[in-house]
Structure 1
Amino acid sequence: MIASWRFQPRHDPAKFVPVSVLTAVQQQLAALSEKVTGGEVDGHIQAALSALQTGGKPPANAQDKTGLDADALAVCSLFGHDPKDVATLSQEI
Protein backbone atom coordinates (compact mmCIF):
# COMPACT_ATOMS: atom_id res chain seq x y z
CA MET A 1 0.00 0.00 0.00
CA ILE A 2 2.84 2.42 0.79
CA ALA A 3 4.58 1.61 -2.49
CA SER A 4 1.52 2.56 -4.53
CA TRP A 5 1.17 5.87 -2.65
CA ARG A 6 4.83 6.74 -3.07
CA PHE A 7 4.78 6.46 -6.86
CA GLN A 8 1.76 8.68 -7.46
CA PRO A 9 2.89 11.55 -9.69
CA ARG A 10 1.03 14.29 -7.78
CA HIS A 11 -0.84 14.69 -4.54
CA ASP A 12 -4.37 15.97 -4.59
CA PRO A 13 -4.51 19.14 -2.41
CA ALA A 14 -8.23 18.56 -1.89
CA LYS A 15 -7.30 15.60 0.31
CA PHE A 16 -5.25 17.79 2.66
CA VAL A 17 -6.88 21.25 2.85
CA PRO A 18 -10.32 22.57 1.97
CA VAL A 19 -10.45 24.02 -1.53
CA SER A 20 -11.81 27.30 -0.11
CA VAL A 21 -8.69 27.74 2.03
CA LEU A 22 -6.39 27.01 -0.92
CA THR A 23 -8.32 29.49 -3.09
CA ALA A 24 -8.11 32.19 -0.41
CA VAL A 25 -4.35 31.73 -0.06
CA GLN A 26 -3.91 31.86 -3.83
CA GLN A 27 -5.88 35.13 -3.97
CA GLN A 28 -3.80 36.66 -1.18
CA LEU A 29 -0.59 35.64 -2.94
CA ALA A 30 -1.82 37.15 -6.20
CA ALA A 31 -2.70 40.43 -4.44
CA LEU A 32 0.71 40.67 -2.75
CA SER A 33 2.50 39.80 -5.98
CA GLU A 34 0.58 42.55 -7.77
CA LYS A 35 1.68 45.09 -5.17
CA VAL A 36 5.34 44.14 -5.64
CA THR A 37 5.29 43.95 -9.43
CA GLY A 38 2.96 46.92 -9.72
CA GLY A 39 5.56 49.18 -8.17
CA GLU A 40 3.69 50.03 -4.98
CA VAL A 41 6.53 48.79 -2.78
CA ASP A 42 9.17 50.47 -4.94
CA GLY A 43 7.26 53.74 -4.75
CA HIS A 44 7.22 53.64 -0.96
CA ILE A 45 10.93 52.82 -0.77
CA GLN A 46 11.90 55.58 -3.21
CA ALA A 47 9.78 58.11 -1.34
CA ALA A 48 11.42 57.20 1.95
CA LEU A 49 14.91 57.38 0.48
CA SER A 50 14.34 60.69 -1.27
CA ALA A 51 13.10 62.21 1.97
CA LEU A 52 16.33 61.14 3.69
CA GLN A 53 18.79 62.15 0.99
CA THR A 54 20.25 65.63 0.71
CA GLY A 55 21.69 65.35 -2.77
CA GLY A 56 25.25 64.84 -1.53
CA LYS A 57 25.27 68.11 0.41
CA PRO A 58 25.44 68.29 4.18
CA PRO A 59 22.27 69.55 5.82
CA ALA A 60 22.15 73.34 6.04
CA ASN A 61 22.08 73.38 9.84
CA ALA A 62 24.88 70.81 10.30
CA GLN A 63 28.12 72.10 11.79
CA ASP A 64 31.42 70.25 11.79
CA LYS A 65 32.21 69.29 15.36
CA THR A 66 35.95 69.79 14.86
CA GLY A 67 35.67 73.42 13.78
CA LEU A 68 37.68 72.77 10.62
CA ASP A 69 36.64 74.36 7.34
CA ALA A 70 35.87 72.35 4.19
CA ASP A 71 39.42 72.72 2.84
CA ALA A 72 40.98 71.40 6.04
CA LEU A 73 38.56 68.48 6.09
CA ALA A 74 39.43 67.70 2.47
CA VAL A 75 43.15 67.65 3.33
CA CYS A 76 42.46 65.34 6.29
CA SER A 77 40.53 63.03 4.01
CA LEU A 78 43.23 63.11 1.34
CA PHE A 79 46.03 62.20 3.73
CA GLY A 80 43.99 59.88 5.95
CA HIS A 81 44.27 62.01 9.10
CA ASP A 82 41.62 62.14 11.79
CA PRO A 83 40.00 65.61 11.72
CA LYS A 84 39.80 65.61 15.54
CA ASP A 85 43.56 65.16 15.81
CA VAL A 86 44.22 67.91 13.27
CA ALA A 87 41.83 70.26 15.08
CA THR A 88 43.57 69.57 18.39
CA LEU A 89 46.99 70.20 16.86
CA SER A 90 45.85 73.38 15.13
CA GLN A 91 44.55 74.76 18.45
CA GLU A 92 47.92 74.10 20.10
CA ILE A 93 49.79 76.13 17.48
Structure 2
Amino acid sequence: MEQELKTSRWLNLILLVLVAGLGILSIKLHRRSLPNAHLSRQEKNVKALILEGKTNKEIANELFISLSTVKTHITSIYSKLNVKGRQELLQKSTGAST
Protein backbone atom coordinates (compact mmCIF):
# COMPACT_ATOMS: atom_id res chain seq x y z
CA MET A 1 0.00 0.00 0.00
CA GLU A 2 2.78 2.44 0.90
CA GLN A 3 4.64 1.63 -2.35
CA GLU A 4 1.48 2.36 -4.38
CA LEU A 5 1.14 5.72 -2.64
CA LYS A 6 4.74 6.67 -3.49
CA THR A 7 4.23 5.59 -7.11
CA SER A 8 1.02 7.60 -7.32
CA ARG A 9 2.74 10.72 -5.95
CA TRP A 10 5.57 10.44 -8.47
CA LEU A 11 3.14 9.98 -11.33
CA ASN A 12 1.16 13.02 -10.21
CA LEU A 13 4.34 15.09 -10.01
CA ILE A 14 5.44 13.99 -13.50
CA LEU A 15 2.01 14.77 -14.93
CA LEU A 16 2.00 18.19 -13.27
CA VAL A 17 5.39 19.05 -14.78
CA LEU A 18 4.23 17.85 -18.22
CA VAL A 19 1.02 19.90 -18.09
CA ALA A 20 2.92 23.01 -16.97
CA GLY A 21 5.48 22.54 -19.76
CA LEU A 22 2.78 22.09 -22.38
CA GLY A 23 0.99 25.19 -21.12
CA ILE A 24 4.14 27.31 -21.42
CA LEU A 25 4.87 25.90 -24.88
CA SER A 26 1.31 26.61 -26.00
CA ILE A 27 1.55 30.24 -24.87
CA LYS A 28 4.88 30.74 -26.68
CA LEU A 29 3.56 29.21 -29.90
CA HIS A 30 0.39 31.30 -29.73
CA ARG A 31 2.40 34.52 -29.39
CA ARG A 32 4.46 33.64 -32.45
CA SER A 33 1.44 32.74 -34.57
CA LEU A 34 -0.34 36.10 -34.17
CA PRO A 35 2.39 38.72 -34.64
CA ASN A 36 0.13 41.44 -36.04
CA ALA A 37 -3.10 40.66 -34.23
CA HIS A 38 -2.46 43.06 -31.35
CA LEU A 39 -0.99 45.98 -33.30
CA SER A 40 -3.17 49.02 -33.87
CA ARG A 41 -3.95 50.08 -37.45
CA GLN A 42 -1.39 52.88 -37.28
CA GLU A 43 1.25 50.57 -35.79
CA LYS A 44 0.66 48.16 -38.69
CA ASN A 45 1.14 51.09 -41.11
CA VAL A 46 4.39 52.10 -39.40
CA LYS A 47 5.60 48.49 -39.37
CA ALA A 48 4.90 48.13 -43.10
CA LEU A 49 6.89 51.29 -43.84
CA ILE A 50 9.77 50.09 -41.67
CA LEU A 51 9.79 46.84 -43.64
CA GLU A 52 9.97 48.91 -46.84
CA GLY A 53 13.19 50.42 -45.50
CA LYS A 54 11.81 53.89 -44.76
CA THR A 55 13.51 56.12 -42.18
CA ASN A 56 11.61 57.53 -39.22
CA LYS A 57 11.47 60.92 -40.95
CA GLU A 58 10.10 59.39 -44.17
CA ILE A 59 7.48 57.49 -42.16
CA ALA A 60 6.44 60.70 -40.38
CA ASN A 61 6.10 62.56 -43.69
CA GLU A 62 4.17 59.76 -45.37
CA LEU A 63 1.70 59.28 -42.51
CA PHE A 64 1.44 63.01 -41.67
CA ILE A 65 2.47 62.45 -38.06
CA SER A 66 5.30 63.87 -35.97
CA LEU A 67 8.69 62.22 -35.67
CA SER A 68 8.01 61.79 -31.97
CA THR A 69 4.79 59.91 -32.73
CA VAL A 70 6.66 57.62 -35.13
CA LYS A 71 9.19 56.83 -32.41
CA THR A 72 6.38 56.12 -29.96
CA HIS A 73 4.74 53.72 -32.43
CA ILE A 74 8.06 51.99 -33.11
CA THR A 75 8.72 51.52 -29.40
CA SER A 76 5.25 50.03 -29.01
CA ILE A 77 5.70 47.74 -32.04
CA TYR A 78 9.04 46.45 -30.76
CA SER A 79 7.55 45.80 -27.34
CA LYS A 80 4.45 44.03 -28.65
CA LEU A 81 6.41 41.89 -31.11
CA ASN A 82 9.25 41.29 -28.67
CA VAL A 83 11.99 42.55 -30.99
CA LYS A 84 14.95 44.79 -30.27
CA GLY A 85 15.37 46.62 -33.56
CA ARG A 86 14.65 46.92 -37.27
CA GLN A 87 16.88 43.99 -38.23
CA GLU A 88 15.12 41.62 -35.83
CA LEU A 89 11.72 42.94 -36.97
CA LEU A 90 12.69 42.24 -40.57
CA GLN A 91 13.93 38.75 -39.72
CA LYS A 92 10.76 37.86 -37.81
CA SER A 93 8.52 39.35 -40.48
CA THR A 94 10.17 37.54 -43.38
CA GLY A 95 10.80 34.32 -41.48
CA ALA A 96 14.54 34.64 -42.10
CA SER A 97 16.91 33.34 -39.49
CA THR A 98 20.52 34.16 -38.72
TM-score, structure 1 length as denominator?
0.34
Which of these two proteins has the greater Rg computed from alpha carbons? 1
Which one scores higher on RCO, CA 8 angstroms, separation ≥ 6? 2
Write 1 or 2 for the structure with the bigger share of helix. Answer: 2
